Amino acid sequence: MANWITFGRCLILLLLLAVVYSGMPALQLVNAPLVILIIALDGVDGWVARKRGEESLFGATFDIAADRMVENVLWVVLAHLGLIGVWVPLLFIVRGTLVDAIRSTGTASGTAAFDMMQSPVGRFLVAGRFMRFTYAAVKAVTFAWVLLWQPFPDLFPAFWDTWGPGMDAISLALVVVSAALCVLRGLPVVIEFLANRD
């Protein structure tokens, strides 16, 4: 069941992309709720897996792959729409590729990604539920916030002329916080990997 929820997140992402690129501003008002649903289901699939005893290496790996797909696609789409700078998806793609390559060494030996972290700092920043939730929440708020405003210049031009620069400033702040957390949570994976190779 949990893996089907993860798969459902991927399908909802496709629906979101269709809406974002639909060219229909009134329909684009559902952007933010769809983002929230996609991110919320990330917590639901893990909860269902634990409750139903469905935790597995495949499920953990599939969940991380779905997470990476959702975030990379959304960062690329936001950059393509000109809502954020291209440096953002590049940062997330580079960090994600590096971290996932390192994690694949653990997966190959039967160790789930979050179980690879050995240091207390690494466990807190990377594997701890608080930081995982915080990171997911910050990204969810960022994606929802930025996509919330996509239709406003067309639907409410007077509002956007007045408030748009402020909304863009908040968007930039959220993007920077997301990027900082991305780096902060990736560093322990790289550091521990390099330290354990000597």
38-65 as b/e: b if 16+ CB within 10 A: bbebbeebbebbeeeeeeeeebbbbbbe
pLDDT the model gives residue 109: 63
What tokens does 140 get? 């969810």
User: CATH for 2-196?
Assistant: 1.20.120
Instruction: Give the C-alpha separation, 140 to 60, whole Å.
Output: 20
pLDDT in tens, 149-181: 999 999 999 999 999 999 999 999 999 999 999
Distances (CA, A) of 71 to 75, 96, 140, 165: 6, 10, 9, 25
Average pLDDT over residues 102-128: 72
- Residue 116 is classified by DSSP as G
Q: Is the pLDDT of residue 106 over 70?
A: no
110-120 as b/e: b if 16+ CB within 10 A: eebbbebbeee
Per-residue pLDDT band for 111 (boundaries 50, 70, 90) equals low
pLDDT the model gives residue 165: 95
Q: Locate the domains of the chain by residue range.
A: 2-196
- Would you say 125 and 184 are in contact if contact means Cβ atoms under 8 Å apart? yes
- Would you say 113 and 103 are in contact if contact means Cβ atoms under 8 Å apart? yes
pLDDT in tens, 47-94: 676 777 767 767 677 788 888 899 999 999 999 999 999 999 999 999
User: pLDDT averaged over the chain?
Assistant: 87
Instruction: Read off the pTM.
Output: 0.85
Roughly what angle, to the nearest 10 degrees, separates helices 129-148 and 31-51? 160
